[in-house]
Every structure is written in structure tokens, then in C-alpha cells.
Structure 1
Amino acid sequence: MTFSILEGLTKSLAMTVLSEIGDYTFCVAAILAMRNPRSPVFAGCLASSVLMTILSVLVGWAAPSLISRKWAHHTTTLLFFIFGLWSLWEGFTEDGDEDELEEVEEKLAAQNANLRGNGGKAKGSSKADDDSKKQRKPFLTHFFSPIFLKAFSLTFFGEWGDKSQLATISLAADENPTGVVLGGIIGQALCCIVAVIGGKSLASRISEKVVATVTGILFLVFGAQSFISTV
């Protein structure tokens, strides 16, 4: 393994773990694993995270082809400083440590209530209507379990446009893409394992302020290292 791959892997791994622990998608995996079988929850969350990581790295890898390498490097440096200050601001202004967990629980409870309401209306329908609904069953449910699809979709759309995704794009534009992909996948796998096994207990105990502060410092270190390095 070359030094550039190792450097990209280390940065991506550290950034992913710190960004995802206690995050929205971490809480989604933790709560779903408490109410459903763990295997499809883990598979859905991990598959979504891996896909998101690969897409983000591809975007970052293609960036130097669209703009000059010099401008891509300077833009990445600037983004690291922005993400660092953003995370520090969140760490110093965060009011509660369980806001993310409570928000996810409320959203999942609302979804379950809607499903129960639709199920109650369906009880009064005829057998022909039930057979018609089965025929209109979503195509993907013939190949994947509903729990897998729920975990996958909640994780994917929860990560889309998130700070961790933008940071991965920036990192891939300035580091070895292979290392960034490997580090991101390893970090996502570790976070998914922790979330599925005992994530809710951990999420209710860790301090979001501490995580945000450490993440901010890490981004600032990445920014400083990128600033003093050559293109």
C-alpha cells in the first residue's frame, strides 16, 4: 500500500467515524435495529453508506478534471476550514445531547402511525382489493425485505447533502481516491456495527458537543495540512 493511499485511508476513516457517530443516520440504524431483525438493518444501512461513499468519491475524483488541479486544491483547503468552523460552531451552540435521537424517534413513530392508519383502512376492503394491492407491490420488495429497503432509503436520503458527504467529496479531490473509498467504507462499517449492536444506548450517552468539537478540530487540521502542502 502506497503512502498516498494510506494517507487518504487514514483521513477518510477518522473523518467518517467522527462525523457519523451520533449522527442522524447512526440514530436511524440504532432505532431500527431495536425494533427489527439486525441483519437486514445492518445490510441496508451499510449498502446505502457504501454507495454514498463511492458516489461522493467519484464526484471528488472528477473535480480536478473539470477545473484545474490548483483551484481544486485551494477549494478543498477552503472547504476544510469552513467545515471545521461549522462543526466548532455546532459544538459550542448545541443545546441538548439527545436532540438528534429524539428527532429520529419522532419521525419513525410518525411513519409507523401512518402505516397503521393505512392498514386500518385496508381491513374494510374486499379480498379482490387485497389481491390487487399485492399485485401492485413495489418491484424491489420482490428481491429485498421491506426492512432492508427502509434502512437503505432512510440512510441514503439522510446522508444526501450532509456535511460528511461534502467533506468526502472534498477529501477525494485532494487525496488518493482509492484510500478515501477504503477509509470511508471501513469507517461506515464500524459505525453501522456499533449502531446496530448498541447504538441507542451509546447515542444517548455521548456528548454531541464533544463530537462536534473534535470533528471541527480534525477538519481544521486537514485544512492546515492541505494549506501548507503542495498541489
Structure 2
Amino acid sequence: MEILSSYGAVATFLLIFVAEFGDKSQLVCMTLAAKYRARPVLFGAISAFAILNVIAVLFGASFANFIDQRYLSIIAIVLFALFAISSWRDAHHDDDNDEGKLKVGKHISMSAFTLIFAAEMGDKTQLAVATLSTTQPPLMVWISATLALATTCVIGVIVGKKLLNRISEQLLSKMAALLFATFAVITAITTFA
């Protein structure tokens, strides 16, 4: 922890960035951005991360004592399953109607927010932020952690947009369905095992 005292902001950023890089939230951002506009995905995901970090910083390491992790995991399981079903249905609806895509785009920020918020509540990254806030200035921890999570999200969105140029939307929807279903199963196994 001594190194954190000297280089708190940088150490917090690096710790959270490395912990979250390649994690489910980055993959969620990548998957959503491959199919929908980047701006609403980024807005929803980064808003969720910012609020999650506020919660973590405010409650510190004791936050986990207030909310049963099983309830949070069950919410995440349900959301992942719903997104899997939605993505699978999208793959099997040959819908060239741009109005439908615009309508979905209006709600994708809320979908990204809800999915990230439920999936990451009580996650290792949030617990790391809570722990860091017990020994470091809370505002510095919040800023550094939020910037780290936003950075992983932006990277996920950029990669997701590149995929869209190389993979058909139908295949992408099937891949998203499989990804969300996998997250639901993994979350269920870790929750109930």
C-alpha cells in the first residue's frame, strides 16, 4: 500500500484498468457497440461505472455488508439471460427497417447502463475501488477508477465497431446471444455453487 500512497492516482488507474481489461463489462461494451451506435453505449456504460464508483467510494470496504451478493447476482443473471434472448431474436429477424434500429438506439443507453450496473455491482473492481477508498483520498480514487473503466469501455467500443465491418449483423447477434447466455450461466454457477 505504500506505493499507492506515493502514486495513488496512477496506481489506482492501473490497478482498475488491468483488473477490468478483458472482463465481462468490456465485452458487453464491445458487443453492444458492434450492433448499436457507440455514443449511447458509451453514455450508458460510463454512467453506470461512475455511479458504481461513487457507491464504492462512499461506502468503502463495508459496502458488501449491506446488500446480499446473491440478490445482485440474480439480477445480473436475469439481465444477461434477457439480453441473450433479445440478441438471438434479433439474429432471426431479417429487419431492414431503419426505424426499428433507431427505436432500439433510444433505449440502448439505458440497456447498457442497467446491464453494466447490475453485472458490476459488488464485482472485484467495485470492491477494489471500495478498498482503495479506505486508504486513499476518495475523490482521487473515484476519478482514477472511473477514468480506467471508461478507457476499457472506449477500447471495447472501438473493437466492437471494427467487428461490425467484418462480420454480418446476423452472426454478430448470434455471437452476442451466446456471450450473454455464457455470462448468465457463469454468474449462476458462481452464485449457486
TM range (shorter): 0.5 to 0.7
Q: Which has the larger radius of gyration?
A: 1
Q: Is the 8 A contact 1:8 1:177 kept in 2?
A: no
Is 1:41–1:151's contact at 8 Å kept on the other side of the alignment? yes
Shift of 1:174: 1.1
Q: Which has the higher contact order (CA 8 A, sep 6+)?
A: 1
SS of match in other structure, 2:122:
coil
Show CA shifts across 1:113-169 (max 9, x none): 46899x9xxxxxxxxxxxxxxxxxxxxx9xx92110110011001101111111111
Counterpart of 2:84 in structure 1 is: 109
Q: Does 1:50 align with 2:25?
A: no
Shift of 1:199: 5.0
- Residue 175 (1) aligns with residue 150 (2): no
8 Å contact kept, 1:5–1:178: no
Name 1:13's counterpart in structure 2.
Answer: 13
Conserved in 1, the CA contact under 8 Å of 2:17 and 2:152?
Answer: yes
1:112 Cα deviation from its structure 2 partner: 3.0
Unmatched runs of 5 consecutive residues or more in structure 2: 63-78, 94-102, 164-193
C-alpha deviation, 1:201, in angstroms: 7.6
Q: 1:14 to 1:37 in 2, by over 3 A?
A: same
Q: Contact 1:29 / 1:42 at 8 angstroms: preserved in 2?
A: yes
Separation in structure 1 between the aligned mates of residue 51 and residue 117 of structure 2, nearest angstrom? 8
C-alpha deviations, 1:180-226, integer Å up to 9, x for none?
01111211121111011115889xxxxxxxxxxxxxxxxxxxxxxxx
Q: Write the letter of the residue equivalent to 2:120.
A: E
RMSD: 3.5
TM-score norm. by structure 1 comes to: 0.50
Identity value in percent: 27
CA distance in 1, matches of 2:33, 2:23: 16
Residue 132 (structure 2) pairs with residue 157 (structure 1): no
Q: Which consecutive residues of structure 1, in runs of 5 or more, have no partner in the other structure?
A: 64-103, 120-140, 203-231
What does 1:194-213 correspond to in 2, within 5 Å? 194-198=155-159
Structure 2 partner of 1:39 = 39
The range that moved more, 106-115 or 159-168, is 106-115
TM superposition score normalised by structure 2: 0.60
Give the counterpart letter for 1:110 in structure 2: I
Count of residues paired in the alignment = 135
Q: Deviations over 1:84-129 (max 9, x none)?
A: xxxxxxxxxxxxxxxxxxxx99874323346899x9xxxxxxxxxx
> Aligned partners of 1:54 and 1:38: how far apart in 2?
24
Distance of 2:15 and 2:121 partners within structure 1: 17
Q: How does 1:11-90 map to 2 (within 5 A)?
A: 11-60=11-60
- Deviation sequence 1:10-45 (CA, Å, 0-9, x none): 222011101111101110000000001111001111
